[in-house]
Amino acid sequence: MVLKRRTLLITGIITLFLIIAALAFLHLLPMNIFSVQQKPEQAPQKVYDYYLIIDEQTNQTIMYVPLVVSIGDEVISEENKYYEIVRIEENRAYARFIKHIEIDKYQPKANSP
């Protein structure tokens, strides 16, 4: 009788251990099978001595800048036009017109001290 109880106890412990091990294995299994693939790193942008800022609609050159230009940069032209850089090809940055800025509104008046 005692031997039967010990056998059942040992069998139960081994079964419980195997169930826990199987659940742990099944829990970790999807991490190995369905691993998330990393995006390939983009090649760094080549740096030029200057960049041409070009109006996207008219293809007219707005200005030359001796700075590295990135997509999303903002530019104000000599005609007080506000642009945003939307595309870069080699040393040509294409800018989209956003709005005309009224610079007179921000200048101090002549009568104020």
Quick one: 57 and 28 in the same domain?
A: no
> Domain tally for the chain?
2
Quick one: 65 and 28 in the same domain?
A: no
Contacts of 57 (CB under 8 A, 6+ apart): 96, 97
**Residue at 43 is within a domain:** no
**Residue at 7 is within a domain:** yes
Q: What is the pLDDT of residues 27-66, one digit of tens each?
A: 666 665 556 667 677 677 778 889 999 999 999 999 999 9
**Residue at 109 is within a domain:** no
Give the whole-angstrom CA distance, residue 85 versus residue 73.
5
Please state the pTM of the whole predicted model.
0.55
Domain around 9: 1-33
Quick one: 55 and 82 in the same domain?
A: yes
Q: What is the pLDDT of residues 61-108, one digit of tens each?
A: 999 999 989 999 999 999 999 999 999 999 999 999 999 998 777 778
